[in-house]
């Protein structure tokens, strides 16, 4: 076990991390104590595998809460993970995938962590964000204390970041702790000598200090990781990279964090329970839902008799309203049928009236045509169509009188004395009658 802890300490002290400095020192100090000969294993130092504190899930309402606590590592470290309350990216991914496969539609991260290992943090966060988007899962982050560095990197993929009063977020930066124990070894009488090939194989110069090239190489890796990390946060928080870098890896309380765009709101833990219950959009009461989500009680939650009676009364009222609605709907349907039938009958009647009017007009034109034909004036039918019946009859009678006058004049010319040509005499008033007819015809035609 001591060899395992030494390897963990070496990994922590020589690798770039996304971790708040205070949390980093706490872990290193702890490992130093664990590696000392005087350290004694206390009760509870052994992990209880039957007790899952990583998440809680209520399948009935499709809501889960994942706890992200303590130092974060890529792979599980049993001793550190248990003693320091840490979590691994592999385990977080596994739990997240399981919850979505189980039907979770709302997942909340309950975060209290100063960060941890940089390796695989961003790929883990991107994996969870893509899986949530694909399955239509709502993500929330609740910062219950501190969400810094790698922990904040996991937090930013949520649709909302909600902070507890007094909580802190940020520390968007990279840190490497280098330990040079050359002086300590020298004081204890040890001399360290390296035999190597390749200039960069050893970090130390001849005097035991770190080589400048080694420091420059570490710095270049830190800068590259910092650029990637700030870009990742900027993308998921919809900020500019310059705005993220301007935070200078500081942590911020809720008011300033919200102003900077690093968080969205501040709520007490109880208020967050209520908000999460509302987000779940379930028909159960919020108090019942909160108890189910956060396991406030180990017993099965049931509605009391008063709540049950209220629900039954609401159900009865809804059923009555539904019956009334059905009755109104049937009446409307009957009226619609009657209206359709009457509209059809009215259409038929209007068509018959139009047909009769058309037949009447045709009959009238035919009669007028016959009358004009009798006086040999068929060509005037179109011109006289605008006259009313009385005016038309007057014109036709005028044509008849004129025809009679002409006929009488022709007859008298044929029977004159001894075959001599006799000039017909016009009947008294004939010229006056023709003039009147002409004037009347022109007048009626003008109309």
Q: In sequence order, what are the residues at sequence separation of 6 or more whose Cβ sits closer than 8 angstroms to the Cβ of residue 288?
A: 301, 303
Give the per-residue pLDDT at 42.
43
Same domain, yes or no: 114 and 150: yes
Can you spell out the DSSP letters for 188-218?
Answer: TT-------SSTTS-SB-TTSSBPHHHHHHH
Write down the H helix ranges in 238-304: 241-245, 254-260, 269-280, 286-294
Give the per-residue pLDDT at 382.
78
Tell me how far apart the alpha carbons of residues 384 and 364 are, in angstroms, rounded to a whole number.
12
Same domain, yes or no: 339 and 393: no
Is residue 216 situated within a structural domain? yes
Is residue 299 situated within a structural domain? no
Same domain, yes or no: 287 and 336: no
Is residue 300 situated within a structural domain? no
With vertex at residue 93, the alpha carbon angle to CA 89 and CA 99, rounded to the nearest 5 degrees, is: 145
Give the per-residue pLDDT at 296.
46
Same domain, yes or no: 159 and 55: yes
Tell me how far apart the alpha carbons of residues 105 and 144 are, in angstroms, rounded to a whole number.
22
Is residue 368 situated within a structural domain? no
Give the per-residue pLDDT at 229.
94
Tell me how far apart the alpha carbons of residues 237 and 169 are, in angstroms, rounded to a whole number.
13
**Token couple for 330:** 């049937």
Q: What is the pLDDT of residues 237-267, one digit of tens each?
A: 999 999 999 999 899 999 999 999 999 999 9
Same domain, yes or no: 245 and 338: no
Tell me how far apart the alpha carbons of residues 122 and 228 are, in angstroms, rounded to a whole number.
9
Q: DSSP code of 386?
A: G
Q: Show which of 249, 273, 294 is a domain's final residue.
A: 294
**Token couple for 156:** 């930013």
Cβ-contact 263, 143 below 8 angstroms: yes
Is residue 285 situated within a structural domain? yes
Is residue 362 situated within a structural domain? no
Same domain, yes or no: 268 and 340: no
Give the per-residue pLDDT at 298.
41
Same domain, yes or no: 79 and 219: yes
Same domain, yes or no: 245 and 345: no
Q: What is the pLDDT of residues 299-332, one digit of tens each?
A: 444 445 676 777 778 888 888 888 888 888 888 8
Q: Show which of 244, 269, 294 is a domain's final residue.
A: 294
Give the per-residue pLDDT at 196.
66
Owning domain of residue 396: 375-446
Q: In sequence order, what are the residues at sequence separation of 6 or more whose Cβ sits closer than 8 angstroms to the Cβ of residue 245?
A: 230
Instruction: For residue 274, give Cα distances in angstroms to 24, 67, 193, 265, 269.
Output: 34, 18, 63, 14, 9
Same domain, yes or no: 248 and 345: no
Give the per-residue pLDDT at 170.
93
CATH for 165: 3.90.226.10
**Token couple for 245:** 């870098």
Same domain, yes or no: 103 and 186: yes
Instruction: For residue 20, give Cα distances in angstroms to 126, 151, 376.
Output: 22, 10, 120
Is residue 365 situated within a structural domain? no
- pTM tops 0.85, yes or no: no
Beta strands in 24-62 (DSSP E): 55-58
Give the per-residue pLDDT at 1.
46
Same domain, yes or no: 98 and 237: yes
Query: Chain-wide mean pLDDT for the chain?
Result: 77
Is residue 174 situated within a structural domain? yes
Same domain, yes or no: 331 and 234: no
Q: Which residues of the chain have pLDDT under 50?
A: 1-6, 8-9, 37, 39-50, 80-83, 283-288, 296-303, 417-420, 422, 426-431
Give the per-residue pLDDT at 212.
81
Number of domains in the chain: 3
Give the per-residue pLDDT at 83.
47
């Amino acid at each position: 076990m001591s060899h395992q802890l030494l390897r963990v300490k070496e990994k922590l002290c020589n690798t770039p991390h996304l971790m708040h400095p205070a949390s980093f020192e706490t872990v290193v100090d702890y490992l130093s104590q664990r590696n000392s000969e005087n350290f004694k294993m206390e009760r509870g130092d052994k992990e209880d595998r039957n007790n899952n504190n990583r998440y809680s899930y209520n399948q009935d309402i499709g809501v889960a809460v994942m706890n992200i606590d303590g130092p974060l590592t890529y792979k599980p470290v049993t001793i550190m993970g248990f003693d320091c309350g840490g979590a691994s990216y592999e385990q977080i991914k596994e739990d997240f995938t399981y919850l979505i496969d189980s039907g979770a539609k709302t997942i909340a991260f309950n975060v209290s962590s100063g960060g941890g290992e940089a390796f695989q943090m961003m790929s883990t966060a991107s994996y969870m964000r893509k899986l949530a988007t694909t399955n239509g899962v709502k993500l929330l982050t609740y910062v219950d204390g501190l969400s810094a560095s790698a922990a904040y990197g996991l937090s930013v993929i949520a649709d909302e970041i909600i902070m507890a009063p007094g909580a802190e977020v940020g520390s968007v930066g990279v840190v490497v702790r280098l330990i040079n124990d050359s002086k300590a070894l020298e004081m204890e009488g040890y001399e360290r000598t390296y035999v190597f090939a390749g200039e960069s194989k050893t970090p130390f110069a001849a005097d035991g200090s770190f080589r400048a090239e080694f420091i420059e190489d570490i710095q270049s890796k830190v800068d590259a990781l910092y650029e990637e990390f700030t870009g990742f946060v900027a993308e998921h928080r919809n900020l500019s990279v310059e705005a993220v870098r301007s935070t200078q890896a500081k942590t911020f309380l809720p008011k300033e964090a919200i102003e900077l765009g690093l968080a969205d709101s501040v709520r007490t833990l109880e208020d967050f329970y209520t908000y999460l219950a509302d987000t779940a959009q379930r028909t159960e009461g919020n108090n019942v839902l909160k108890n189910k989500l956060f396991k406030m009680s180990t017993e099965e939650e049931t509605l009391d008799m008063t709540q049950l009676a209220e629900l039954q009364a609401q159900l009865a009222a809804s059923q009555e309203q539904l019956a009334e609605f059905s009755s109104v709907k049937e009446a409307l349907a009957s009226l619609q049928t009657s209206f359709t039938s009457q509209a059809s009958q009215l259409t038929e009647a209007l068509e018959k009236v139009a047909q009769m009017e058309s037949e009447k007009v045709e009959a009238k034109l035919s009669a007028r045509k016959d009358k004009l034909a009798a006086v040999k004036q068929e060509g005037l039918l179109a011109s006289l169509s605008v006259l009313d019946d009385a005016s038309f009859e007057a014109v036709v009678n005028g044509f008849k009188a004129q025809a009679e006058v002409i006929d009488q004049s022709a007859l008298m010319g044929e029977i004159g004395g001894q075959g001599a040509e006799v000039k017909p005499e016009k009947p008294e008033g004939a010229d006056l009658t023709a003039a009147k007819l002409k004037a009347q015809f022109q007048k009626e035609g003008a109309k």
